[in-house]
Amino acid sequence: MSRPSVVVVGDALLDVDLVGEATRLAPDAAVPVLDDAVESLRPGGAALAATLTAREHVDVTLVTALGDDESSRRLRDALPRSLTLIEVSLRGELSRKVRVRAGAQSIVRLDYGHGVACASTRDRAVVREVLMNANATLVSDYGKGVSAALRDVLARAARCTAVVWDPHPNGATPVPDAAAVTPNRAEAARLAGGDEQSRSLREVAANARTLFEKWAPKSVCVTMGADGALLSFGDDSPLVVPAPGVPCADPCGAGDRFAGAFAAALAAGAMPSEAVAAAVFAASEFVRVGVARAFDPATAGTVEGDVFQQAQLIRERGGTVVATGGCFDLLHAGHIETLRAARSLGDFLVVCLNSDNSVSRLKGVGRPLVPQTDRARVLGALECVDGVVIFDEDTPTEVLRRLRPHVWAKGGDYDGRSLPEATALPQWGGQAVVLPYLDGRSTSALVSAANDVRG
């Protein structure tokens, strides 16, 4: 069975990070001195959107404008080989954005190149054929002219297939009948003539309705950063998908990750509401790691959704990693209180979850009542939980050795001194603690009560 296909049409950029260490100020001005700066580059703009969309297990074609300049050549080399590249002409130099950073902190951004796209009749014919054979199209507009040069082709595609349009205030107006238009909150306010400083849902919903009337898409999806996303079909009751509470390493590229995941979900046959939920989750996982680390060869392919990599990043940023564990078979109020208390001890909470085999050995015949995949999914949906790791042993000692949490927290029905896994914590300077536990709450009690009722 062939994979869904997504075509990304838009303005590619070359993103460069210049990262060093700043430990002193210059003697002639109150500015930091950056020592031993190292340059790294990656695809930016529509090229970043296409690269990230390819992680959604879809076939991706990138349609963009490139020239003969050095930035264009470097970008071609940086693109993953899994992408199919279709080029239209670029007049001038490809845009290059350089972030100068002291560690994780951006100091200044330098912009170079202001090339503009143009498309010949032949270019438009080639792109038209590609779009008509795609399951979905993402227009990643960065105001450099690709979407304007191909507007007639995109307008025709929107009448036949799902087009997701990620707009730019200086870019082209989205074509009518787009499946979704995905401005962020500030862009939606600016384009709708609303208050750019307002963060209220009422104002966001009003801006979405205005853009729905103005552009005539099938839906408007306003991304709201840590607040999630709002999907409007032009009525008074939009769908709001909250974002999971995650530490944000770097918001750069989150909009591209969101739009790509949205388009990929539509290409796979998802409803718009399902696509928004998938996109919010994907963008949240992406900012948890940060765009620079997502393109680090040492962590490529493992960063998103990898709890161990995420915990390492939290430690590198000076945060506190907390772990707790258990079977969590029939989640109840006692579990919730313990998890909330554990999360309050640090910046990142990982739940070490007993596998089905492990639960059976510990609890006996008939347990678990809920399979491990469902238990993990329920735990992962909790705002206080940042990650879940399933282990098959009787204790999570080996998982803890890999995770190296600062704190190992258990409910008050445990004696921290008797926990076998607690003996491993001194190896990396971790601390075991016992948390208050709601009296009378247990899965065994719930099972017993259910059996009494059934009997």
Which residues belong to the active site? 256
What's the token pair of residue 230? Answer: 């709002």
339: left (phi over 0), alpha (psi -120 to 50) or beta: alpha
Q: Name residues whose C-beta falls within 8 Å of residue 73's C-beta, 6 or more positions apart in sequence.
A: none
Per the CB < 8 A criterion, the answer to whether 208 and 188 are in contact is: yes
Per the CB < 8 A criterion, the answer to whether 165 and 182 are in contact is: yes
Three-state secondary structure call for residue 18: strand
Strands 348-354 and 387-391: parallel
Strands 116-118 and 84-91: antiparallel
Per the CB < 8 A criterion, the answer to whether 158 and 167 are in contact is: no
The DSSP-derived string for 394-438 is SSSHHHHHHH--SEEEEETTS-GGG-GGGGGGGGTT-EEEEE---
266: left (phi over 0), alpha (psi -120 to 50) or beta: alpha
Calculate the CA 37 to chain-centre distance. 28
E strand intervals along 251-397 = 321-326, 348-354, 387-391
Question: Which single residue is written with the structure tokens 């994907």?
Answer: 282
Three-state secondary structure call for residue 8: strand
Q: Name residues whose C-beta falls within 8 Å of residue 175's C-beta, 6 or more positions apart in sequence.
A: 151, 154, 155, 158, 163, 165
Closest C-alpha to 73, from 53, 91, 93: 93
| Other Cβ atoms closer than 10 A to 167 | 24
Q: Name residues whose C-beta falls within 8 Å of residue 104's C-beta, 6 or more positions apart in sequence.
A: 249, 250, 290, 317
CB-count burial class (<10 Å; 0-12, 13-18, 19+) for 74: middle
Q: Name residues whose C-beta falls within 8 Å of residue 377's C-beta, 6 or more positions apart in sequence.
A: none
